[in-house]
Amino acid sequence: MATLQWIPELDTGIPEIDKQHRRICDYINLLDQIRRTHDRQKLGEVIEEMVDYTVSHFSFEETLMEDAGYLLAGPHKRVHELVTRRVGEFKTRYEAGEDVTEELHNMLSRWLFNHIRNEDHGYMDTVTTYLRMTASAQHAKIEAASQAVSQPKRGWIARLFGAR
């Protein structure tokens, strides 16, 4: 299977999510390289890092979906649990001495883009709207705070600087 190439249509438009997805894509391509070298130690390191990273990405995504009130957050979470379990099984097999690189690489490279196109793109609108709403709330708070700073109450500082 060829190297995974990120294409713009995979972007969700949510910068943090897109950055994480691209990094998972990089891990899968790293697996592809190791597959050719059969470097067992390196494979162990990549599996370890990739599993950690992917699990934390899943929980980031799940929190975002839940905070945004996305209706399919539950089923989406179950897909993540299933994949986490499958990857965990590969990790166990690797630890038992099996060469799982090829199989793991094939599974993940088929899974990632499908998952992004189907399940992840499903929450895109809800989460984007949620982020826009909370971002403007944050912005308003900062704006109010900065106005308070730039418009001192008439007091000794204002008099000192000649404010009327």
Name the minimum Å distance from CB 62 to Fe ion: 8
| CA atoms of 87 and 93, how far apart (whole Å) | 10
Which tokens sit at 118?
Answer: 């189907």
Question: Which CB sits closer to Fe ion, 39 or 62?
Answer: 62
Give the DSSP letter string of 144-164: HHHHHHHS--SSHHHHHTT--
Q: From the CB of 80, what's the least distance to Fe ion, in Å? A: 6
Nearest approach in angstroms of CB 61 to Fe ion is: 5
Binding residues vs Fe ion (CB under 5 A): 120
**Rounded to 5, what percent of the chain is helix, strand, coil?**
80, 0, 20
Residue nearest to Fe ion (CB): 120
Question: Is 24 or 104 the residue whose CB approaches Fe ion more closely?
Answer: 24
The residue among 44 and 122 lying less far from Fe ion, judged by its C-beta, is 122
